Structure 1
C-alpha cells in the first residue's frame, strides 16, 4: 500500500489574529455553528484522549452534548475504560476533526463529573431505546457475543416496560474544564494557521503558532 503520495492542498480559508474572538468559547461556538450549517456528518463528534494509571494513552470518539462557559459535556458509563482513566488522571484532551472544513480544534483541560441533576435531565431527553441500551451495556467489559448483548437489552426492555426508564447509578456526564485551546485552519503549501489560547487567571492569552 502506497501512502506517501496521498496529499492535497488546503485552500478554503485563512485565519488571522484580527478575526479571532477574544474568548475561545465564543470562537469555538462560531466554528461549531459554521460546521453544523455546512451539513457535514457528526459535527459534534470529538476524540477524547485519556491516560490510565500506568501512563498508557487511549482515545475514542464521543459526542459533545452541551457547551457553555463552564466547559464541554459528554455522557458515558462510569465503569467504562475512559471513566477509570479519568479517575486515575483527570487531565484529558479533546480533538474536533472538521476535515471537510479544513479545520481542527484541540482542547486541553481536566474532567469532572456533572451533578446527578444534569445527568438526569439529559438521560430523560434520550430516546427510550437509548435509555435501555445504557442499562444493557456494561461498557468496556468483555462479553461472549452480540447475542448476549441483545439478550441483556431485551431483558431491560421487559424490566422497564412500565413507566419511565430510571437513570442508572453507573451512568452520567463529565464536564471538561478547559485551560487551553488550539484552533487550526488549513493553509496552502502546508503553511497552516494555528492559534493557541491559554488561560491566565481570568483572561486568555492568544499566540500564533508555527504550523
Structure 2
C-alpha cells in the first residue's frame, strides 16, 4: 500500500470582517474567481461542477455531480431530466444539499435548502441555447434507467437526429416535457476556506427571515468549528 500523501492547505482563509450582510456577493465573486482561474492557470478543470445530494422516498441518500447552469440571487440551479433519479427524489422530498468545491483554490461553497422547479420560460430559453447534440441527447437518454448497452443509446440518438435534423436553428429540437431545471432556495450558505493545520475557516449564512441571497435582512452569520 502506497503511503498517503499529505499537504498543508495554503489558502488565504476568510474573516468575518470580509463578509457582506448577505451571501450573494461572495457566491458571485467566488464562482467568477474559479472561472477566471480556469482560464488563466487551468488548475480548476470544471469550475461549474456542483455536487447535488437528494434523498429518495425510502430515506436513501444519493449524490451526483452536475453543472451549475443557473445562478441568480434566487439561488444556484441546474437542468436535468425530471424523471431521472434526482428528479424522482425531489418529487418525493424537495430537501436538497449542494456543494461547489475548488481544491486548487482551497475554497468550497455549501448550499442547503429546498429545490424548486424553474419556470418553463427559463427552461426553454436555456434549452434553446444548448448545442444541437445536447438537445438531441435530452430526448435520447432515459436518464437513470437501465440500458441494455451503449448501442441502445446511440440508436436512439440516430433516430432523433433523423426526426429533427440540425438546421442551425434554436428551435429545431423541441423542449421535452420531461426536461426541466431546479433552483435551490437556500436556508444555509457556507463558505469554506482552507487553512494550515486543518484549522479551516467555515463561515455560514443562516436564514433568519424571508428574502433571497442578496437580501441583508434575511441572514445572520456564524462561524463553525473546522
- Does TM-score exceed 0.5, indicating one fold? yes
User: Residue 162 of structure 1: CA displacement?
Assistant: 6.8
Could you tell me which residue of structure 1 aligns to residue 114 of structure 2?
Answer: 110
Alignment of 1:29-108 (within 5 A): 29-39=28-38, 40-108=44-112
User: Residue 12 of structure 1: CA displacement?
Assistant: 2.5
The question of 1:188 aligning with 2:196 is answered yes
Alignment of 1:123-142 (within 5 A): 123-142=127-146
Q: Distance in 2 between matches of 1:56 and 1:75?
A: 22
The question of 1:158 aligning with 2:162 is answered yes
Indicate if the aligned counterparts of 2:132 and 2:166 stay in contact, CA closer than 8 A: no
The question of 1:9 aligning with 2:8 is answered yes
Task: Report which stretch shifted further, 136-145 or 36-45.
Answer: 36-45
What TM-score do the two structures reach when normalised by structure 2? 0.90
Task: Report which stretch shifted further, 21-30 or 82-91.
Answer: 21-30
The one of 136, 146, 149 equivalent to 2:153 is 149
Deviations 1:95-143 (A, max 9, x none): 1111110111100011111111111100000011110010000000111
User: Residue 9 of structure 1: CA displacement?
Assistant: 0.2
Corresponding residue SS for 1:55: coil
Could you tell me which residue of structure 1 aligns to residue 225 of structure 2?
Answer: 210
> Unaligned regions of 5+ residues in structure 1, if any?
none
User: Residue 2 of structure 1: CA displacement?
Assistant: 4.3
Could you tell me which residue of structure 2 aligns to residue 197 of structure 1?
Answer: 205
Q: Distance in 2 between matches of 1:184 and 1:113?
A: 27
Q: Distance in 1 between matches of 2:22 and 2:74?
A: 13
Aligned-residue CA RMSD (Å): 1.2
> Unaligned regions of 5+ residues in structure 2, if any?
39-43, 210-216
User: Would the alpha carbon gap of residues 128 and 162 (structure 1) be closer, same or farther in structure 2, given more than 3 Å must change?
Assistant: closer
Q: Distance in 1 between matches of 2:31 and 2:183?
A: 18
Aligned length: 210
What TM-score do the two structures reach when normalised by structure 1? 0.96
